[in-house]
Amino acid sequence: MQSIEEPAVGHAPALSIVVPCFNEEDGISELVRRCSESATLAVGCDGYEIILVDDGSSDGTWASISSETSRRSSIVAIKLSRNYGHQVALTAGLSAVRGGIIFVIDADLQDPPELLGPMLEVMKDNRADVVYGQRKSRTGESWFKTFSARLFYRLLERFTDILIPVDTGDFRLMSRRICDIIVQMPERDRFIRGMVASVGFKQVPFPYDRQERYAGTTKYPLSKMVRFAMDAFLGFSMALLRFASVAAMGMLLALIGVTAYSMYSWLYLQVVPGWTSIMLTVILCSFFQLIALSVVGEYVGRIYLSTKNRPLFILDSIKRSEPR
């Protein structure tokens, strides 16, 4: 993955705020104002940078971002060559951070920047590497969005091998070491909240109420939502690949039942000649096809996981006893 190497300007800030922006022209100045205020309160006026990533917007987002760079000293503006999608835009921002703590927030102010201070407290008190916002409520969103999001997070929890907390977006604080690991993961179909969960270390929830959008409309139409859900399921769960194995087990039960019934009918009831053998052949063939599919599925799953190149393990720390 290409990393964005900024020439080092001055000292590294304590905090980097990363914001992916796609067609958000009307909200940028309010976003920057509120983020700056919260960051100044938390780490002082020289202690932060705000990284705004324009994900190939077609409106005046880049102009708004550029005008912020000329007005304030804490802004890093990144413009992607086209629209790559939320998760890639966020990764681009994460690859440019210089701070020790990273605050990820959406551009639409649905997640209040004022929670930065309290979240930093939670991070410090718990010695946590991640403090993730967990939505208690969502205001101003359609019933469909709320319902589909609730269902999505619960299905994900049920079917993934990694514990991905429910009702959690990308609004979070994370330590630099988590950020670096996420940026180094080369997988293309990225589901960052799942990737962060998979890294481990201490991760604590921060319950909050999600607000209405400050301006504009959602940049996640149904097609993008479906693609996002597919990335999450295919990237973190082998459930769909294992479907053939589950079906094969079901078929085995049917095979036993139908065999018993066919034999009984053949012995004691009147059946059309050839019916028993056709029944047995059909069900045996289906069973073996499903078994073959599930074997192929298992191999494909393993190849798929290997191509992701996720680290085999991540060390927290090593201690050695002192030599005598």
User: Which residues 6+ apart lie within 8 Å of 8 measured at CB?
Assistant: 98
The amino acid sitting at 35 is C
Contact string (CB under 6 A) for ligand UDP, positions 107-146, x = contact: xx-x------------------------------------
Rounded-to-integer distance, Cα 280 and Cα 259, Å? 6
For residue 18, list its beta bridge partners: 51, 104
Q: Min. distance of Cβ 120 from Mg ion in angstroms? A: 22
Residue where the block lists tokens 């983020």: 35
Q: Min. distance of Cβ 214 from ligand UDP in angstroms? A: 10
Q: Min. distance of Cβ 57 from ligand UDP in angstroms? A: 8
| Residue 86 lies near ligand UDP (rule: CB under 6 A) | yes
Rounded-to-integer distance, Cα 94 and Cα 179, Å? 7
Considering only residues 145-204, where is the footprint of ligand UDP by CB under 6 A?
A: none
Rounded-to-integer distance, Cα 237 and Cα 231, Å? 10
For residue 15, list its beta bridge partners: 48, 101
Residue choice 3, 139, 218, 277 for contact with ligand UDP (CB under 6 A)? 218
Task: Say which DSSP state 26 is in.
Answer: T
222's tokens: 């149904």
| Residue 50 lies near ligand UDP (rule: CB under 6 A) | no
Size of the site for ligand UDP (CB under 6 A): 16
Q: Min. distance of Cβ 220 from ligand UDP in angstroms? A: 4
Q: Min. distance of Cβ 12 from ligand UDP in angstroms? A: 25
Residues binding Mg ion (CB under 5 A) = 106, 108, 110
- Closest to Mg ion by CB, 106 vs 231, is 106
Q: Min. distance of Cβ 72 from ligand UDP in angstroms? A: 19
Residue choice 15, 17, 18, 89 for contact with ligand UDP (CB under 6 A)? 89
| Residue 83 lies near ligand UDP (rule: CB under 6 A) | yes
Q: Are 156 and 232 in contact (CB under 8 A)?
A: yes
Rounded-to-integer distance, Cα 321 and Cα 324, Å? 9
Q: Are 20 and 108 in contact (CB under 8 A)?
A: no
Candidates 18-26, 62-70, 152-160, 180-188 — which segment interacts with ligand UDP by CB under 6 A?
Answer: 18-26
282's tokens: 């059909």
- Closest to Mg ion by CB, 83 vs 265, is 83
Q: Around 39, how many Cα atoms within 13 Å sit in the side-chain half-sphere? A: 28
Q: Min. distance of Cβ 143 from ligand UDP in angstroms? A: 14
- Closest to Mg ion by CB, 40 vs 211, is 211
Q: Is residue 205 helix, strand or coil?
A: strand
Residues that bind ligand UDP (CB under 6 A): 20-22, 24, 55, 83, 85-86, 89, 106-108, 110, 218-220
